[in-house]
Amino acid sequence: MDTQLSYSAIYEPVEDGWIQARIAELPGVITAAPTLDEAKAMLADALREYLLSLREDVIGDSAERDQLVLVIQAR
């Protein structure tokens, strides 16, 4: 089964000429960088870190587990 997730990346200029990057659907995923290319790379990293932080929730020992691989690519 193939599933594709699509998120809206928002890039806006902020003070000192930096670019703020955020995911519209995930308010906790936000970063900033001096260039658009760096902001795109940092946003992909911020999304990865956000998703990894969700893994830290406690899962019972008797829970069934499976592996899901998500590849994040900035365009």
Mean pLDDT by 10 residues, the chain (75 residues): 82 96 95 98 94 70 70 69
Hey, how many other C-beta atoms are within 10 angstroms of the C-beta on 21?
25
User: How far is the C-alpha of 73 from the C-alpha of 11, rounded, in Å?
Assistant: 16
- Structure confidence at residue 29 (pLDDT): 96
For 59, 68, 75, the CA distances from 41, given in Å and listed in that order, are 31, 22, 9
DSSP state of 16: G
Q: Which residue has the tokens 């911020």?
A: 46
Q: What is the CATH number of the domain that holds 58?
A: 3.30.160.250
Range of the domain at 2: 1-75
Q: What is the pTM of this model?
A: 0.71
- Structure confidence at residue 3 (pLDDT): 74
User: How far is the C-alpha of 75 from the C-alpha of 65, rounded, in Å?
Assistant: 31
What is the count of structural domains for the chain?
1
- Structure confidence at residue 66 (pLDDT): 75
